Structure formats: C-alpha cells, structure tokens
Amino acid sequence: MERRIHLYVSRKNLLTWLMALCLVGSAVARIVIPCVKGTWDSLEVWSQIVLPVAAALLYVLITLISGKELFYKTAIPMWMMAAYYALRPHNFITNGFVLSLFIIALVFFCMIYTAITCGKIKQFWLLLPLLAAPIAALLYYEHSAQMGFLDLLPDLLFFGGCMVLVFAIRMHPIGEYHPTWGDRTDGRRIRTLPPMSQVSPYIMVTRNTSTNFFSDAFEITHVERYIRQKRREGLTSFGLTHVLLACYVRTVAKYPGLNRFLSGQKVYSRGNDIQYCMTIKKEMKAESPDTIVKVHLTPYDTAEDVYNKLNAAIEKEKSSAALDSNFDNTAGLLTLIPGVLLKFTVWLLRTLDYFGLLPAFLLEVSPFHGSLFFTSMGSLGIPPIYHHLYDFGNLPVFGAFGCKRRALEVQEDGTVVQRKYLDVKFTLDERIVDGFYYAAFFKQYKRYLQHLEILDFPPEEVVSDID
C-alpha cells in the first residue's frame, strides 16, 4: 500500500465538538455582524457572507459525519475560505503587486493544508503553525488598519476552532487502506502503474474496443465428484457455477489485478470486494422477466461461503414479486423519463461516473459496475458465447460456460478413454492488466480446478494489489 499517513478525528473527542462550536459561532457572527451594521450589495453578500458561512458549516459537517475516513476533504472548505479572502475588499492592501503576493500566499497555504491532511506531509503537527499564521496576520491587520476586534471575530473563531481540532487529530495504523484524493467510492486508484499502462486508456478509450478474448475447455470428471460430495454434505443445489466462481475468487487472492477496473481513464482496485453479477430468471420460461443479482465476495471465501452468499441472493430475488428488485425499481424509474430527457439523463450519469461522483446506491444496483459477470449458457442448452463488455460502467470481465460435452481421447498406450469437458469463454478488458498477467491468472485458475479440495479452507495468504 502507499506509504502515506491517514489522519482522522473522532466524534467522541470533546475537542472535535469544541471546534464545531467555534465554527458554528463563526458562521453566526458572520451573519449577525453585517446585519447590525447595515445592508450590503448582492455581490458582497455572496462573497463575504454566504461563501465563508458555507465553508465553516461544510468543515463542521465533514469532520462530524466523515472525520473517520474523509478528514482530508476538509481541504475543500479551506479553499473556499481562500476564495473568500481573495474576493474580500482590501482597504489595507492597495498595491497590486502586494495583493498578488497575498493571493499567492493564500494558494500556498491551501496547498500545504491539503498536503498535510491527505498524508503527503507526514508531520501533521505542522498544522498548528500553519493555522496560527492567519491568526497572527489578522491581528496585525486589525492593528494596522485600526479595525474593530468585532470585525475579525468570525475569522478568529474559524481558525481558532481549526487549531483546537489539531489536538484531536489521530493517525490510522500504517499500511491500512483509507481513501484519499483521486480514489472512488467503489475503489482506490492505482498510482504506480507503468507509464504505458497509464497512457493506454487515453488511446483505447472504450471498453469494447479494448477487449481480449480467451477460451478454454476444462476436464470436469473430478469437478463432478466434488459437486456430488458437497451435495452429500448438505449443499443441495451446489453446482458448476459455484465451483467456477469459488475458483475465480481464490485465484484473485493470488492475482488481485483481476479485481481492478477502469473508469475516467484511470485504473482502480476494488481491494477485497469482489462484486459478482449474474442475470437470473424468476422462472425458466421465455416470458419470465430477467433480473440482476449482485453478490459481494472476498478472496477469503471458501466454496461454502460462495454457495451461501450466492444462493441467498438468488432465493431473495426469486421469492419476491416480479420486477421488484432494486435494479428493476431503478430501471423502472428511468423508463418514466421521456426519450430525449432519458438520453440526457444517461449522459449525465455517465459524466458523473467518469469523475467518480455517481452515488453509492446507484453503483450498488447497477449491473454495469462490478468485478465479474458470469453466466451459464449450459442452463439454456447452448455453447458459451463471447459476451460484450458494457461501455457504460466499469465491468472488466465477462465469462460464460456452456453445456458439458464428452470427448474420446487416445492415450499414450493406444487405449481410448472418454472424458467430460466444459467449454468456457471470457471477454476481458486488456487495460487493467497485461497479457502475461492474464495468462498467469488463468493457468492458476486451471490448477485450482484440478485441486478443488483447497476451496474448503480460506487461503493462507491474500496478496494485496500494488499502490
């Protein structure tokens, strides 16, 4: 993992609430004091009252609601405060050159604050002198401009509250993953890719024009024995899908690059969250509606874990009324939008997704966002197909397997034996890993299929993806 520190604050710390009290007091003072003095024009109201009030309240909300994981986002209200000072009428600073230096100092202040809170600068105690600097400047400004202390009270409360919060800041243990700038809700950005891997997404822009196709046939005599064994142990509906999926999950534990995805021309890792999607029918009838199941698996899952999680999700959907899953409800809402506006809505969703701003609840119900889509063509009685990837979303792998087939093979001694095979096909986004990595992954995948007993126990080691 990236060797940067991750800061956090806790709501259980009294200093956090003291900071909140100071910043709320700052926001109230900014509203009350101008109202006492008289009316301002609309530009001054927005730049000198609304902007700093919003910054103070946003700082409080980020700290109290998301301080455990997203404390680094307090840099946003700090930049808002810098904009407030840049737009502030400067009666004391009349020289254009000095004003330019002042604005440069504001930018430098915010950059240092951002670097400290996101962990790039590891000495977070530097926030104390950093936040003390504007307080000293404000007091000097009050003395030089002969202003009243009341005029500077909101600013002093803001920076004073932030200084108090410094004593409540703690560090997460080194090595743990915690989000930072550039990460998404559904994954962390990989920043140490080779240059070619970082450039190629800008050259191969769409997912369907960046795909590789892989096919293989697995000998499944021992797989069927394993399935019968599991059914005798009480997993009554254990089948090929569970075996293939459990092997995939176990291989990801060794080759985590297959749990990456590409979004906004950047490569991200889902870490230990393997999101498996599949289409199911309520009933095996042509007129029966389809729905989508999304299951969250981990590299630590055994075959029984995969069985329990997948079957629970399928049974939940099949036992419910038709077309009432979260996916179906979301799709149903979209159908209410007129065609022209629906096209704009999809464009808006795509744009939000590009910048990592799509709400988490939409990512959860979307079948286009996940680690793997795996489907059984055998249940339909046809061979496997190369299914296209979706240009919307970030799904990087689509697998399909077909009907079992028998083949006669001649042995070295001249005898003929009958073996049973399963054909599989995968469509893969080549931008998440290179061809050598894919080859190593599927070689290991095939080895696990030959030694299914290891799926009965969690892996001894789960490899973490690169930084």
Tell me the per-residue pLDDT of 202-212, one tens digit each, with 9 for 90 and over: 999 999 889 99
13 token code pair: 């710390």
On whether the CB atoms of residues 117 and 170 are closer than 8 A, the answer is no
For residues 430-436, average pLDDT: 94
Indicate whether 360 pLDDT > 50.
yes
First to last CA, the chain: 5
Three-state secondary structure call for residue 375:
strand
Q: How far apart are CA 413 and CA 137, in angstroms?
A: 92
Provide the pLDDT for residue 335. Answer: 77
pLDDT tier at 321 (50, 70, 90 boundaries)?
low
450 token code pair: 């030959």
Indicate whether 1 pLDDT > 50.
no
Q: What is the pLDDT of residues 13-31, one digit of tens each?
A: 999 999 999 999 999 999 8
Three-state secondary structure call for residue 246:
helix
Q: What is the pLDDT of residues 60-102, one digit of tens each?
A: 999 999 999 999 999 999 999 999 998 886 655 667 788 889 8
As a dihedral over the C-alpha atoms of residue 142, residue 144, residue 146, residue 149, rounded to 10 degrees, the angle is: 10
225 token code pair: 């024995």
Provide the pLDDT for residue 283. Answer: 63
Indicate whether 377 pLDDT > 90.
no
Indicate whether 41 pLDDT > 70.
no
In the chain, the amino acid numbered 115 is A
Residue, of 149 and 270, whose pLDDT is higher: 270
Q: What is the pLDDT of residues 253-291, one digit of tens each?
A: 999 999 999 999 999 999 999 999 988 766 656 555 677
Q: How far apart are CA 80 and CA 53, in angstroms?
A: 10
Q: Kindly report the pTM of this predicted structure.
A: 0.84
DSSP one-letter string for 114-148: HHHHTTSS--GGGHHHHHHHHHHHHHHHHHHHT--
Q: How far apart are CA 228 and CA 236, in angstroms?
A: 9
Indicate whether 304 pLDDT > 60.
yes
- What does the domain layout of the chain look like in residue ranges? 7-171, 188-456
Indicate whether 381 pLDDT > 70.
yes
Please report, rounded to a whole number, the percentage of residues in the chain having pLDDT higher than 90: 65
CATH topology of domain 188-456: Chloramphenicol Acetyltransferase (3.30.559)
On whether the CB atoms of residues 185 and 361 are closer than 8 A, the answer is no
Helix axes 240-254, 303-318, angle to 10 degrees: 130
For residues 196-223, average pLDDT: 92
Q: How far apart are CA 329 and CA 306, in angstroms?
A: 26
Helix ranges restricted to H, 319-379: 326-335, 339-354, 360-365
Exposed / middle / buried, residue 306 (Cβ in 10 Å: 0-12, 13-18, 19+)? buried
444: enclosing H helix or E strand = helix 435-450
4 token code pair: 């940067």
Helix ranges restricted to H, 209-318: 221-232, 240-254, 303-318
Provide the pLDDT for residue 325. Answer: 60
Q: Average model confidence (pLDDT) for the chain?
A: 89
In the chain, the amino acid numbered 422 is L
Provide the pLDDT for residue 151. Answer: 76
pLDDT tier at 465 (50, 70, 90 boundaries)?
very high
Indicate whether 319 pLDDT > 90.
no
For residues 37-55, average pLDDT: 79
Q: Which of 307-316, 411-420, 422-431 has the lowest mean pLDDT?
A: 411-420
As a dihedral over the C-alpha atoms of residue 21, residue 8, residue 264, residue 248, rounded to 10 degrees, the angle is: -140
Indicate whether 147 pLDDT > 90.
no
Indicate whether 201 pLDDT > 80.
yes
Contacts of 191 (CB under 8 A, 6+ apart): 2, 182, 467
Indicate whether 165 pLDDT > 50.
yes
Q: Which residue has the tokens 């900014």?
A: 30
Provide the pLDDT for residue 23. Answer: 96
Indicate whether 134 pLDDT > 60.
yes
